[in-house]
Amino acid sequence: MAGPDKVEMLGHLRHWDTNREDLLDHWDKQVGDVQMPIFFRQSVTNVEKVGKTCTVSVVDSESNETKSYTTARVILAIETMSNPRKLGCPGEDLEKVRNSLVDPDEFQGKNVLVVGGTDSAIEVALALKDSNKVWFSCRSAKFDRVKPTNLELFTKAIESGEITALWSTEVKGSDEESAIVEHRTNNEQTTVPNDVIIAMIGGHPPMKFLESIGVPYIERPHSWSPPASDELVKDSRNLQV
């Protein structure tokens, strides 16, 4: 997930087209080199503007201790995975249903169903195909706006039989040993053997929290996507403090 091609690297954090593990290893080294403090297991409860600074209130998820930080800037990089979307079908709450892949080596010889239609879903399927039998369920008949390299690798994996693609399908149910997908074109259902479902289908943004700290919500068309990161950096440099 190194981002779109041909992005001018304006920051100090390196990006290049590589696998997730190598990228994270490099970032860990950079964090160590600059001795950047990182506080894990802390949930932000409030962000308040006080004059020219911001007060960020947090609570420790283990000790329940509350504290605050004072800072000149706050960057919200929370995505939506803290509140992931569910499959919306019987069996969606089974322990085998996950919304992320932490360690591909955790799964060996399993029947895995990956659900999604983005680069992240493709990369999960590619990471698991060598050691597992992988099915891939996508609501659309083809991918839209995915990285060319991912698309090439995914197509080759389908052609070689390493991944079974189930285009234009939705998951309609699951039990401990199988999953049911329904074809959107004719409503026919297919049952596949299944040990693990990894649903890479995004999440719900924390709208109430964002609105409570003064971040407005702007309705965008479904096809809208933000500019490349280098363009955002250039625009931010023109903003007044």
Q: Is residue 54 part of a domain?
A: no
* Number of domains forming the structure of the chain: 1
pLDDT band at 123 (very low <50, low <70, confident <90, very high): very high
Distance of CA 111 to the CA centre of its chain: 22
Q: Is residue 222 part of a domain?
A: no
Of 111-115, 175-179, 209-213, 221-225, least confident by mean pLDDT is: 221-225
pLDDT digits over 41-81, tens only?
998 999 999 899 999 999 998 899 999 999 999 988 876 55
Q: Is 5 exposed, middle or buried (0-12, 13-18, 19+ CB in 10 A)?
A: exposed
What pLDDT does 15 receive? Answer: 74
What pLDDT does 1 receive? Answer: 44
Q: Is residue 181 part of a domain?
A: yes
Q: Is residue 214 part of a domain?
A: no
What is the rounded CA–CA span in Å between residue 201 and residue 118?
8
Q: Can you tell me the mean pLDDT for 5-29?
A: 80
Residue 110 has pLDDT above 70, yes or no: yes
Q: State residue 71 phi and psi, 5-degree precision.
A: -150, 160
Residue 2 has pLDDT above 60, yes or no: no
Q: Is residue 12 part of a domain?
A: no
Q: Can you tell me the mean pLDDT for 127-132?
A: 96
**CATH number of the structural domain spanning residue 119:** 3.50.50.60
pLDDT digits over 141-191, tens only?
988 778 888 999 999 999 999 999 999 999 999 999 999 999 999 999 999
Of 123, 97, 50, 125, residue with least CA distance to 195:
97
For 105, the domain range is: 97-200
In the three-class reduction of DSSP (H, G, I as helix; E, B as strand; rest coil), residue 175 is classed as coil
Residue 61 tokens, joined = 């998820």
Q: Is residue 52 part of a domain?
A: no
84 versus 117: which is more confidently predicted?
Answer: 117
